């Protein structure tokens, strides 16, 4: 009986079981959005994407290990003979970038200027970045941009945008005008609390502004993100409403003198990290 109880407890609390996209390896699967644009599911790490240009292929995010990258290559080969020439990192989190090192060096890696900086920051536990050695620096984004960039793959154009700080300081949007589809990395989480990496400079209040800017600037109908199925404009707007209400509730608690622990206890357990970020941001704004 005790063993069963222990197992159930482990099952309920262990992140291994609850985050299948980062904890388990499933076969790579390409889901078609158009003849040119696909979402990449499976493998170890976050969802990514593939775009077939006139003569070459662009990949969005690299997952976490060699098996996943080999799987991406195999899956792409089944659809097109065109070579993969560009890899775009939506931001600097491990489940989107660790696979960079398994791409051939001939592939050009692109990311935001701040994303490149975050590659080289110490890790959350304070240890040095694994990307600092000259061997690994080859797989850190080689081409970076600040506000906007276009990639022309023959007759096709992809628009890259930066709308500001949020989940991290270097999250970008890839917009595919023909498909009216945006790949937004982890800028918005659905069905689980938003992750804000405060230790990288992420900020929940900036996240709201950045997401609003994104919705105003990009005419996307579909939104592909790192840890969810395709979402729509309405889902994005709902997310903004929900996180704004979440922040407001914490603001009220801070104003009435509640401690961090008291505030956390008014929320679900899995929201503790977001409560901590928002609480600290509100305290910092008051100073």
In angstroms, the first-to-last Cα distance of the chain is 52
Q: Which is nearer to Zn ion, 61 or 156 (CB)?
A: 61
Q: Which is nearer to Zn ion, 195 or 272 (CB)?
A: 195
Q: Which is nearer to Zn ion, 186 or 206 (CB)?
A: 186
212, two tokens: 């609003």
| Residues whose CB falls within 8 Å of the CB of residue 69, separated by 6 or more in sequence, listed in order | 62, 63, 99, 102, 103
284, two tokens: 């910092």
Which backbone phi and psi does 120 adopt, to 5 degrees? -95, 0
Give the shortest CB-97-to-Zn ion separation in angstroms.
9
Give the shortest CB-122-to-Zn ion separation in angstroms.
17
Whole-angstrom distance, CA of residue 41 vs CA of residue 31: 8
- Counting Cα atoms < 13 Å in the Cβ hemisphere of 187 gives 35
Residues that bind Zn ion (CB under 5 A): 93, 186
Buried-exposed string 44-64: b where 16+ CB fall within 10 A, e elsewhere: bbbbbbbbbbeeebbbbbbbb
Q: Which is nearer to Zn ion, 118 or 186 (CB)?
A: 186
Q: Which is nearer to Zn ion, 41 or 73 (CB)?
A: 41
Tokens 């006139």 map to which residue?
A: 54
Q: Which is nearer to Zn ion, 22 or 247 (CB)?
A: 22
Q: Which is nearer to Zn ion, 84 or 115 (CB)?
A: 115
At 217, is the secondary structure helix, strand, or coil? helix
Nearest to 242 by CA among 280, 199, 211, 287: 211
Give the shortest CB-155-to-Zn ion separation in angstroms.
32
Give the shortest CB-141-to-Zn ion separation in angstroms.
15
Give the shortest CB-74-to-Zn ion separation in angstroms.
25
Give the shortest CB-149-to-Zn ion separation in angstroms.
20
Give the shortest CB-259-to-Zn ion separation in angstroms.
29
Between helix 204-217 and helix 233-255 the angle, nearest 10°, is 150
Distance of CA 157 to the CA centre of its chain: 22
């Amino acid at each position: 009986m005790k063993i069963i109880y222990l197992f159930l407890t482990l099952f309920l609390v262990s992140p291994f079981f609850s985050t299948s996209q980062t904890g388990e390896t499933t076969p790579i699967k390409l889901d078609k959005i158009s003849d040119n644009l696909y979402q990449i599911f499976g493998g170890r790490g976050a969802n990514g994407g593939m775009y077939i240009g006139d003569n070459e292929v662009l990949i969005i995010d690299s997952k976490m290990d060699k098996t996943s990258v080999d799987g991406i290559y195999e899956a792409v080969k089944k659809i097109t003979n065109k070579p993969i020439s560009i890899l775009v990192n939506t931001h600097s989190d491990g489940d989107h970038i660790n696979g960079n090192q398994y791409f051939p060096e001939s592939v050009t890696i692109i990311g935001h200027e701040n994303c490149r900086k975050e590659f080289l920051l110490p890790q959350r536990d304070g240890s040095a970045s694994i990307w600092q050695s000259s061997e690994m620096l080859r797989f850190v984004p080689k081409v970076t941009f600040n506000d906007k960039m276009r990639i022309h793959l023959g007759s096709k154009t992809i628009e890259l945008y930066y709308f500001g700080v949020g989940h991290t300081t270097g999250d970008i949007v890839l917009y595919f005008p023909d498909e009216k589809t945006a790949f937004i990395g982890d800028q918005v989480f659905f069905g689980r609390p938003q992750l804000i990496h405060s230790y990288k400079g992420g900020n929940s209040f900036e996240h709201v502004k950045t997401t609003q800017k994104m919705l105003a600037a990009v005419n996307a109908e579909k939104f592909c993100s790192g840890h969810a199925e395709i979402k729509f404009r309405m889902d994005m707007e709902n997310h903004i409403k929900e996180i704004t209400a979440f922040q407001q509730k914490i603001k009220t608690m801070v104003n009435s003198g509640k401690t961090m622990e008291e505030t956390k206890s008014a929320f679900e357990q899995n929201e503790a990290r977001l409560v901590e970020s928002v609480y600290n941001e509100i305290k910092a704004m008051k100073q």
